[in-house]
Structure 1
Amino acid sequence: MEKDLVEYIVKSLVDDPSQVNVNVVEGEKSTILELRVASEDIGKVIGKHGRIAKAIRTVLQAATAKTGKHTVLEILD
C-alpha cells in the first residue's frame, strides 16, 4: 500500500513516470521505501528546501499511522 501511494504521488510530479522505481525493504520495526527517479526529475521530487519531499513523507506517515510500523522514504540518486 505504501509503495503504491508513493509511486502515485511521484509519478504525477515527474516528467518521466516510467523511470519511477520504489523498492521496499522490510525490517522488524520499520519499512524503508527507496525511491529512484530519472536524474533530471530529482529536483521536482525534492522541491525547494526539501518541501515536496517533506510533504510526501508526511502523507506517508499519516497513511501508515494505524499499522504501528515506522515508514521511511529515502530518495536515491
Structure 2
Amino acid sequence: MEKDLVEYIVKSLVDVPDEVSINVVEGEKSTILELKVASEDVGKVIGKQGRIAKAIRTILSASATKGGKRAVLEILD
C-alpha cells in the first residue's frame, strides 16, 4: 500500500512519470522503498532544502505506522 501511495505522489510531481520506479525491500519491522526517477526530475522530488522529500517521508511514515510498521524512503540518483 505504501508503494502505491508514494508512486502516486511522485508521478504527480515529475515531468517523466514513466521513469518512476520503486523497489520495495521488506524487513521484519521496516520496509525500505528505493525510489528512482529520471535524472532531470530528481530536483522536483527532493524540492528546495529537501522540503518535498520530507513531506513525502512524513506521509509515508504516517501510513506505515497505521499498519504497525516503519517505512523508509530512499531517493536513488
Q: Does the pair score TM above 0.5?
A: yes
Query: Cα RMSD between the aligned structures?
Result: 0.6
Mapped to 2, the partners of 1:20 and 1:38 lie a distance apart of: 7
Mapped to 2, the partners of 1:46 and 1:3 lie a distance apart of: 17
Q: Map 1:1-77; keep pairs closer than 5 Å.
A: 1-77=1-77
Q: By how many angstroms is 1:69 displaced? A: 1.1
Identity of aligned residues (%): 79
Moved over 4 A (4+): none
Mapped to 2, the partners of 1:26 and 1:49 lie a distance apart of: 29
Total equivalences in the alignment: 77
Which 5+ residue runs of structure 2 have no aligned equivalent? none
If the length of structure 2 is used for normalisation, what is the TM-score? 0.97
- Deviation per residue, 1:13-53 (Å, 9 max, x gap): 00000000001000011000000000000000000000000
The residue identity in structure 1 corresponding to 2:7 is E
SS of the residue 1:28 aligns to:
coil
